[in-house]
Amino acid sequence: MGDENMSEWLEQVEPLTLKGQIRMPYAWWAGEVGSRFLLGLRDEKAFWGTRCPECRAVYVPPKQNCGRCFVDTDEWVKVANEGVVTSHTVVHFEHPNHPAKAPFAYALVQLDGADGALLHIIKQDLDRLQTGVRVQAVFKEEREGNIRDVDCFRIVDGKGQ
């Protein structure tokens, strides 16, 4: 259909929209790199990232290829369970899809030893939450091999508690 025909067609049609929500459960394979990251959380209570052989950037969560250099990142490095909040937003309303009961915060956490930030949640001490505050991962006792094996991050003073 050419541009002229499309214009004519649009003039003869009443545009309608349908508003709604669809909940669609699905299973997603994390891949080789993602699986190794999730197994580290589950089995070791540890964060693993990949390092670029050229620019030396450490990616957490890990990436198979460096987004800057476009080369394979096949060197694995263990990073700290602590880091700093680089950005955050506090959630004050309840929703069934939220990972925690409100109020809680979504936070970008740059773990010590990583060059990027990881998105997760903070549940307590929201009055102390600010950019630059130090946080530490709180792992669940029963872990299943997913990002929620880290229950949340908690604010710590100095180098941790």
Strand 58-59 to 82-91 pairing? unpaired
Average pLDDT over residues 75-86: 98
pLDDT in tens, 12-70: 777 777 777 777 777 888 899 999 999 999 999 999 999 999 999 999 999 999 999 99
Could you give the CA distance from residue 32 to residue 48 in angstroms, rounded to a whole number? 13
| pLDDT score for 108 | 98
| pLDDT score for 88 | 97
- Write down the H helix ranges in the chain: 3-11, 31-44
- pTM, two decimals, is 0.80
- 30: burial class by Cβ within 10 Å (0-12, 13-18, 19+)? middle
Percent of the chain with pLDDT over 70: 92
Could you give the CA distance from residue 47 to residue 67 in angstroms, rounded to a whole number? 20
**CB-CB contact of 138 with 109 (8 Å):** no
Q: For CA atoms 32, 78, 74, 121, give the dihedral sign.
A: positive
